[in-house]
Amino acid sequence: MSIQARFRLARQDFVLDVDLILPEQGISALFGPSGSGKTTLLRCIAGLERADQAVLEVSGNCWESRQQGIFLRPHRRPIGYVFQEASLFPHLDVRGNLEYGMKRTAQRRVAWRQAVELLGIESLLDRRPENLSGGERQRVAIARALLTSPRLLLLDEPMAALDYQRRQEILPYLERLRDELSVPMIYVSHAMDEVARLADHLVLLDQGRVTASGPLTQTLARLDLPTARSEEGGVVIDATVGAHDDIYHLTRLDFPGGNIRVTGRPLALGHATRLRILARDVSIALSPQEDSSILNRLPARIVALADAEHPAQVMVALDARGTPLLARITRRSRDQLALVPGMNIWAQIKAVALLA
Ligand SMILES: Nc1ncnc2c1ncn2[C@@H]1O[C@H](COP(=O)(O)OP(=O)(O)OP(=O)(O)O)[C@@H](O)[C@H]1O
């Protein structure tokens, strides 16, 4: 099952023209510069914009088809919509706000208790929105959206108004929704660190058009896309905790084709986690260089080379026994090492971020 979304909408200076198939599970991130049409696309999905051409099918149900004259009105679409700023009713306490969401539906897909527990808002139920922090307000807004029993959750930069600390507090709740509920989410974000942590599927939008749509790990590794070449270009690897080294206080994270050691973490063996390795933190050597202090080095093959944003640098796409990696090195080093596609090299990894 999938979500099919095809919309064409023309405004004076802007045309949205997308044709997407999104998975019906997990989080699909919509990523793109300001004005690329992310909010407009969400509004089309919610039925808040009338597109010139439109097809929207969710779980095999047609919600909109211009050709067939089908247009399910916004309030009839089983959608939960969470905005940048939580729009809670100020005169109702948290319980009242949640109950309001529940009244809209007869068919319950997420139970009250489940929503309250997933978002950790039990102790907030008697408070008014004015007495909540920005992060708490957003958690309540997400719980309220879940209690409308949505078949699809739309999140439009739900953390944009929050500071770094508050964002870090909310991320685990979003991860729990992703892992424990079967409600697909479309998540708009400007922040690649959020996308890298949360998303399973990545859609890149630019000037109203889709420039890429695919599984996150594969899409981030594509050298032909601007995400790879940007300052924050890099890959995400899904790994599991393989071993703890109590002598050196290191944790080994395993993934197909290799492993990486990070500073010891209190994570259970077998625990699923996600790593992010930025291209700027990967260098290339022709030999394993065991006389270096770098902890992590992986044998890899060069798949492709491409220009980086800065003329001094080049991007290198690597295949580390099935796991894609990106490296950003100087053009000078590329020439000195005579790097070409197909060569076997060693990828030296200087820094790894553990995302979850
Ligand atoms: N109500 C509107 N009337 C006319 N033009 C609009 C309207 N809302 C948005 N636009 C224009 O449509 C284009 C897409 O806007 P949209 O808000 O979808 O982009 P976005 O990718 O969500 O941007 P941001 O990341 O800044 O929120 C922009 O050029 C914007 O100026």
**What value does the mean pLDDT of the chain take?**
93
Q: From the DSSP assignment, how many helices (H) and strands (E) are in the chain?
A: 9, 21
Test site for ligand 1: of 40, 42, 195, 206, most ligand atoms within 8 A of the Cβ = 40
Structure tokens at 42: 């969400």
Instruction: Evaluate: CB of 35 within 6 angstroms of ligand 1.
Output: yes
Closest C-alpha to ligand 1, atom 4: 11
SS3 193: helix
Q: Where are the domains of the chain?
A: 2-214, 234-353
Return the ligand 1 atom nearest residue 36 CA: 21
Structure tokens at 150: 């949505």
As for the ipTM of the complex, it is 0.95
The span from the CA of 356 to the CA of 238, in Å, is 10
Does the pLDDT of residue 149 top 90, yes or no?
no
Record the pTM. Answer: 0.91
The β-bridge relationship of strands 258-263 and 250-255 is antiparallel
- pLDDT tens-digit profile of 93-112? 999 999 987 766 666 778 88
- pLDDT tens-digit profile of 155-193? 999 988 888 888 888 888 899 888 888 899 999 998 898
The span from the CA of 350 to the CA of 104, in Å, is 52
Separation of first and last alpha carbons in the chain = 27
Ligand 1: centre distance to CA 157 (Å): 14
- pLDDT tens-digit profile of 38-92? 999 999 999 999 999 999 999 899 999 999 999 999 999 999 999 888 789 999 9
Complete DSSP assignment for 106-134? SS-SS-HHHHHHHTT-GGGTT--GGGS-H
For the chain, percent of residues with pLDDT exceeding 90: 78
Q: Which CATH architecture has domain 234-353?
A: Beta Barrel (2.40)
Mean pLDDT of the 318-336 span: 97
CATH superfamily of 2-214: P-loop containing nucleotide triphosphate hydrolases (3.40.50.300)
